[in-house]
Chain A
């Protein structure tokens, strides 16, 4: 793209950003609570998809703690969710591979849905990347673009991981028909 065209495009995009900037300003101007409300659910969903509920929750907490400690830097980032996702990955690598202890949790009335018994082990047998992509897209309803932005990988790579994950799940969950 020629420089002139790029600049014109950028000016148009800048106009869009000016609108979006109103919403984003809470994060970039330093409101950590707003940051958690905006970014936290995405980060949590991604890490739950990758590491499961226990370890995923642990590393989510670790990553948000990192954001709290390095707030000046994190708030200025273009993609803080993606950055913290990597922080969480690093934290997960550094920990001993076993669950952290948890205090007994009070039983709550909500009953999570029954999950097809074969699905959980099938998902666990996927590669971590396949697992997070397929759960985020088809479980949490994210777009492929959103997933690729969060994971910091290309659109086509994300689609490839998604296709492989579905192929494997279909194979292992043989009761399902393939459309």
Chain B
């Protein structure tokens, strides 16, 4: 870390601090009104938890919760057929509850799990009703075999006679359980939910009572397991010594839900074993995302997430009204493959001991265990094209990301052949790494090694082979490589390409042409090639040094034109590409905000409304402008100076009538057939509706979901300037 950069970051932080309102202005004023007694809040969804409670030093207790019906914790605890103190894990492992403890006692909870370091939670207090509740941070929600040590410190000094409970969360494993406890209770994975399976120390005597009716008694044999077929619908209690386990009411015991989360460019969820006909809602970090989907008759559903931004640590949950399950996002990167040995390896931020599973194309997954943040699996020697890698979470979740080592999939389009040679390698970095080559020997294998500061950051052999036309093009999905050298070995030849950053810095109107500029650390002798469609122009670098901006304006550029910048670098080229664009205005009608973008930084423009000057505005350092004016239908706003004129209007009269059922409707004083973009909640504007010829009316079938019912409508003029309207259901 250089001192200078450190100082600049300090200045940046101070600038951030000074540029935003202080915390006192951002926080609500006053004290929230206390809610009614929520010490034991209602479980609004079915309970997934399958918990075993093992009390050390006091009577042994077991609790088995099923899932399916509405079970309030208060009822559950009250009806739990054990007098005296009880601790249980609830709400799918995210809550620790207790009853019949000395009021005023201090409760401390320690969580032990391989996934994270031991956690001791801040203490809480037993309420006057003898109950307490501790909500766990989602990351720490207990899973199969993980434990919570709960200490209840009572007495005047709250240190006397501490009772310690070791609670083992067994999650929703329905096959034979492998809990790391002396006692475990599970339920067989049977569709009708009519049998339970108990695994317990051999020799233990078990008694089963179903809804007050004695079912039978067993002595556990050496296998340590007993299968009990339940006879009545309702809660069943399994007593073992002084402990008791219960099933949930069995009126609606479904199969355990399963989730598969896939990432292959876009994200999507698949589910199985859910409640047929139910509405499955997806939540990201606890917040609903999009509209629910209907679970099919077979208990399956799919939720397409598109290119939603998900990061390591994000939590996705699915809730169908009766069941819920969640999955955490983790990073999995395959970074090496040795075709001689068949070993594939990679890195992950999963904790050591986690199980990672890798499959090649349609092969059965091979599991391995994470150690030191890495994992590896051996396949048959030889080339591999595409691999899937995922991890197992608890015993119910399988998360898979399609991670390709040198996949031929992806990329917007292969780079064009380089401009000044018959043979070469091109490194494209526009957020993701893409390497291509041309003029090569067909069939030759391609190996890639990325070196940063003398260390190999990425290595992959046989990522692909040269095609019949002598070229190849490979996208390295998820590989971040911003600085260093790319060593591309094709057959016997190694091309060394130092990767230079080519940043598209701003896109502007140059005289009467649309242009695009870039900056890159190029030398005086570097030739920069600018490709606009099929035409290329060589521009010599003007000076050595840190960065420079080259005006790449050229006749014929349109805002949609993709412009490529090639910089000669070592044995090949480095390339970046982007689209040209011109200054643009958006008017957010409900805010009275004219928002401009793609202006020159610090550019001064005169603003007019309906031709009348209303003042000047100055673009910020990123070329953005904000102007607050009230525009009524028929009005027009323009920003202009000697360089550029941008105008929006006349503003059409567009009205959003509201939502009826799933239909959003309104009117628009625009030509028939005009397309209006409509969106609900997200503001992504991925759908459009057409204004009808009948009175300028429009309707849009909305995919509404979540508690907020908001509608946005966008109208775009011929130059791409936009009017955006908002409607919120009161």
Q: Which residues of A contact B (CB under 8 A)?
A: 1, 3, 6-7, 9-11, 13-14, 17-18, 20-21, 24, 28, 30-33, 36-37, 40-41, 44-45, 48-49, 52-54, 56-57, 60-61, 64-65, 68-69, 71-73, 76-79, 82-83, 86-87, 89-91, 93-101, 110, 112-121, 123-125, 128-129, 134-135, 138-141, 151-154, 156-157, 160, 164, 166-179
Contact = CB atoms under 8 A, between A and B. Distances in A.
11 contacts: A14-B123, A32-B32, A57-B21, A82-B137, A87-B285, A116-B8, A116-B11, A135-B12, A139-B12, A174-B546, A176-B5
Contacts of A134: 9
Contacts of B140: 78
B149 interface: yes
Give the one of B5, B19, B136, B724 with max A CB within 10 A: B5
B16 A52 contact: yes
Interface string B412-443: 00000000000000000000000000000000
A45 B586 CA distance: 30
Contact of B32 (A68, A152, A169): A68
Contacts of A129: 311-312
Interface stretch (B23-31, B77-85, B468-476): B23-31
Nearest to A64: B27
A168 B482 CA distance: 6
Contact of B19 (A18, A94, A112, A116): A112
Contacts of B27: 36, 40, 61, 64, 68
Interface string B18-47: 111101101110111011001000000000
Contacts, number: 252
B18 A78 contact: no
Interface string B349-378: 101000000000000000000000100000
A31 to B, nearest CB: 8
B287 A87 contact: yes
Contact of B285 (A44, A90, A100, A175): A90
A115 B149 CA distance: 50
B249 to A, nearest CB: 27
B4 interface: yes
A33 B593 contact: no
Interface of B: 1-6, 8-21, 23-24, 26-28, 30-32, 34-35, 38, 108, 110, 112, 118-124, 133-137, 139-140, 149, 151, 164, 166, 284-287, 289, 308-309, 311-313, 331, 349, 351, 373, 452-453, 480, 482-483, 501, 503, 505, 521, 546-547, 586, 588, 591-593, 595, 621-622, 626, 628, 681-683, 708, 712, 724
A36 B124 contact: no
B171 to A, nearest CB: 20
Contacts of B285: 86-87, 89-90
Contact of B149 (A10, A61, A69, A176): A10
A33 B30 CA distance: 7
Nearest to B36: A72
A24 B106 CA distance: 14
B164 A170 contact: no
A167 B2 CA distance: 11
B693 to A, nearest CB: 30
A167 B35 contact: no
